Amino acid sequence: MDLGYNGTLFILAFDHRGSFRKKMFGIEGDPSAEEHARLEDAKQLVWDGFKAALEAGAPAGDAGILVDEEMGAAVAREAKEMGVLLAMPVEKSGQPTFDFEYGDDFPAHIEAFDPSFVKVLVRWNPDDSADTKAIQGERLKRLGDWLHSNNRKYLFELLVPASQRQLELVGGSTAAYDSHLRPTFMLETIQEIIGAGVEPDIWKIEGIDTVEDCELIAGLTRSGGRDGVRSVVLGRGADDAKVDHWLCMGAPVDGYAGFAIGRSIWWAGVEGWKDGAMERDAAIASISDNFIRFIDVYNSASVEGE
């Protein structure tokens, strides 16, 4: 199959698992049956917000969801039945080194839900040990090879958290690292990942503060004949102003093709509903409105950049 994706993607991401249980619901360890039902209901709430956005005019052909099997299996099945673009994760949640959530059974879980895209979240930094890089590279290549041999698309979320050495270069400031150093280390990391034989179709890229750096990222991910490969902007749970800026930097760049945003869209709505500060309908409307607004921001920036 051809590498890459021909189209725009506006993904509402709510595949969060460990952080969803702990940070949103305060659940430590395995949830009880009642707690699990509550978590599933929260995922359903976000899905209802997505469907409301479609009814309000979100582009059905480009809009999709990223949801997990653990708490969102029913959502995933309904999305598939509706023909909505569906992405699902295969990584074990919260692990510093990538591993499969279902071990060697990952193909069966993918085939059971038949998502349009299979997603991984990967933490990788040039300062990582050679052993860690080798482990991650082997596992990620194995997944990519299986996906492409089975005509499935590979959605690769790359995080490049600062090493201690890199933080020291900017006086311990994570903000300075993100703005001034991370783009360079992302380029080096992407080279290492591709060098390990890993071939994503779509890269989920952390927000970049300049168009020039977005161009460098997109150019590298599409180098060597990878013309069909695309990048999408992820939200990192940032506030609207920051996410808007990242979208405006990426949207005009050839090779960028949308976004995959999660908490920045649904956190307030889910939290308000959970705490009783919002009626369910109001929470759904909040999620829908936020999703549509980010689509409008991206589309407007894309047109202005032409």
Provide the CATH number for the domain around residue 45: 3.20.20.70
The pLDDT of 258-264, averaged and rounded, is 97
248 within a domain of the structure (yes/no): yes
Per-residue pLDDT of 295-306, as tens digits, reads 999 999 987 755
The pLDDT of 273-302, averaged and rounded, is 97
Task: Look at residue 299 in the predicted model and tell me its pLDDT.
Answer: 97
The pLDDT of 205-223, averaged and rounded, is 97
Please give the Cα distance from 270 to 254 (Å, whole number): 34
Q: At what angle do helices 130-149 and 106-113 cross, to 10 degrees?
A: 40
pTM: 0.95
Closest CA to 214 of 226, 206, 225: 206
Per-residue pLDDT of 66-103, as tens digits, reads 999 999 999 999 999 999 999 999 999 989 999 999 99
1 within a domain of the structure (yes/no): no
3 within a domain of the structure (yes/no): no
Task: Look at residue 265 in the predicted model and tell me its pLDDT.
Answer: 97
% of the chain beyond a pLDDT of 90: 96
Task: Look at residue 55 in the predicted model and tell me its pLDDT.
Answer: 98
> To the nearest whole number, what is the mean pLDDT of the chain?
96
Per-residue pLDDT of 119-146, as tens digits, reads 999 999 999 999 999 999 999 999 999 9
Residue 276, pLDDT above cutoff 60: yes
Residue 193 CB contacts under 8 Å (≥ 6 apart), including other chains: 122, 124, 137, 140, 156, 158
Please give the Cα distance from 150 to 106 (Å, whole number): 13
271 within a domain of the structure (yes/no): yes
87 within a domain of the structure (yes/no): yes
Tell me which residue range forms the domain holding 217: 9-304
Task: Look at residue 305 in the predicted model and tell me its pLDDT.
Answer: 56
Task: Look at residue 303 in the predicted model and tell me its pLDDT.
Answer: 74
32 within a domain of the structure (yes/no): yes
Confidence of residue 284 (pLDDT cuts 50, 70, 90): very high
Please give the Cα distance from 90 to 109 (Å, whole number): 9
Residue 157, pLDDT above cutoff 70: yes
% of the chain beyond a pLDDT of 70: 99
Task: Look at residue 236 in the predicted model and tell me its pLDDT.
Answer: 86
262 within a domain of the structure (yes/no): yes
**Are residues 210 and 239 in contact, defined by beta-carbon separation less than 8 angstroms?**
no
2 within a domain of the structure (yes/no): no
Give the chain's domain count.
1
